[in-house]
Amino acid sequence: MKVILGILIIVSLSAGQVNYSSQIQPIFNQNCTGCHGSNGGLNLTSYAELMKGGNSGDVVNAGDAANSLLVQRIDGTITPRMPQGSDALADSTIDLIERWINEGAMEEASITEEEPMPVQFEIAGNFPNPFNPSTRIVISANREVEGSAVIATASGRTVFDFGNLRMNPGANSLVWQGEDNNGRRLSSGPYLFIFRSADQILSHRMILLK
């Protein structure tokens, strides 16, 4: 069990996605919006405005930081380098913007396999997986955690609701019968177990086989 948790924590750190509103917008607020406000041209005051682009068109090419005018202007590939008239942004700040664009330049980070630290609970796995007809989902918590859990399809549609749950310190198990809340058997395929607490969302992929 310790080994499994160790692996999950490593996965969680590398899967941590850049978040637009808490990590990228503040960079623009601090360095750019003084000039790039709402008085014409490129507006950097929100995600929606940024994605509208500037006089040259799109400045973000989702998935391709190197070919995004935004990056070319802050790394100086295209001059004048931004922020105009000030020192260049720190390399680490430029890296962060590049990472955000290369991850798809999304407004909301998509749900990752595990959220970063502080670890309060982990989904240790579901047993068996693939499964039929039922599976046991094991969640390890290092303290009491309240939250709610659902089963969703791969496209995010909720098919089963466990309601509100309280996890105790240690290993907690939940059994899912492969059915929706009306007792109907669901079809084969991948399903996501999603647990939400006040400050964490965890998801875990499971396969129902018939």
Which residues contact ligand HEC by CB under 6 A? 31-32, 34-36, 42, 54-56, 59, 69-70, 73-74, 80, 82-85, 89
Residue 54, number of CB atoms within 10 A of its CB:
18
Of 1 and 90, nearer to ligand HEC (C-beta) is 90
Question: Measured from the CB of residue 55, what is the shortest distance to ligand HEC in angstroms?
Answer: 4
- Chain position carrying tokens 């659902």: 150
Closest Cα partner for 109 from 99, 119, 118, 117?
99
CB of 59 to ligand HEC, least distance (A): 4
Residue of this chain nearest to ligand HEC (CB atom): 54
Nearer to ligand HEC, 86 or 132 (CB): 86
**Which residue, 77 or 158, is less far from ligand HEC as judged by CB?**
77
Contact 191, 153 (CB under 8 A): yes
d(CA 207, CA 186): 11
Minimum CB–partner distance for residue 57 and ligand HEC (Å): 7
Q: How far apart are CA 150 and CA 177, in angstroms?
A: 13
Closest to ligand HEC by CB, 73 or 204 = 73
In residues, how long is the chain? 210
Closer residue to ligand HEC in complex, CB, 85/170 = 85
Shortest distance in whole angstroms from residue 80 CB to ligand HEC:
5
Q: Considering the complex, what minimum distance in angstroms separates the CB of residue 202 from ligand HEC? A: 34
41: phi > 0 → left, psi -120 to 50 → alpha, else beta; which? left
Token reading at 73: 């202007």
